Structure 1
Amino acid sequence: MVDKYCSESVDNPFESDIRKFDATVINEKAIIDKLIDIYPNSVAPQSVAILDALVYKMSGPYRHAKFWRFTRRVLKELNKLNSLKLNKYLKNISKDMLKSEMHYSLNVCAKRYIAAVLISRAVRSCRLRNLCEQAASHCLQHIQTGHLSNKTMLDIW
């Protein structure tokens, strides 16, 4: 259900009826501004760049190792997490609310989309945490057994 609602954003996030002064619109604006402050544009951009370079450089020699499979999964999950464009969508809504002088409230579809993206972001963050734990565990096991002696792989952990 969450994937269905966060697959595509709502084009017109506002209700069509104009309101005079309503405190709910101001509360919605405050919540959106708080969400913009809390959630960055992208998660760990430096780590993504390092992982991307490592995947490019080290995919050949370590392609069958378990720790390397988990490392590639970490990169894929990070890319999926960063592909959710919540911050950009919220900034556009906030800007449009100011243009309309806070006369229009968010419609149900826009609220549902924001909630679905937040839930999807939380689920992906949890998956990312689990994958990082597994990749670090497998990497440490390879180091302990002496199979991994390349220091460059330790830079990501």
Structure 2
Amino acid sequence: MTTRLQPGDKAPDFTLPTDTGETVTLSDLRGGRVIVYFYPTAMTPGCTTQACDFSDNLDALKAEGYTVLGISKDTTEKLAKFRAKENLTITLLSDVDRDVLTTWGAFGEKKLYGKVVEGVIRSTFVVDADGRIELAQYNVKAAGHVAKLRKDLGLETA
């Protein structure tokens, strides 16, 4: 059973490479709120819907003080192609070893088409300015997720 993070938990720190060749360390973003979302695979329909939705809402989220990080097990090269193909503006991070995915409870057993499989669990977290989990959502739906998240956070819709 995968351990799941709960509101109030300390957000596990990480340093991961981006598709642009930089690295991002979560603890470097303290003082601001961070939306960390995990998705199964770049360039698939659901993941594209979700990434485009976050990109479309990025300016409004930034205006509310949020940084958005999308994390998958894809290579940085695949993430770069994903960014270019879909004109994404969010930060994409690569966790090919699945260490961060596992630590955050976003990799493990899940149901897929009625079967139990092991894989990435589509999940979203909000980390507060002090580095604690403010909101933890597992098994989220790709379509309409950002609108639901904005509502859950008490933000006006874009």
TM-score normalised according to structure 2 size = 0.29
| Structure whose CA Rg is larger | 1
TM-score normalised according to structure 1 size = 0.29
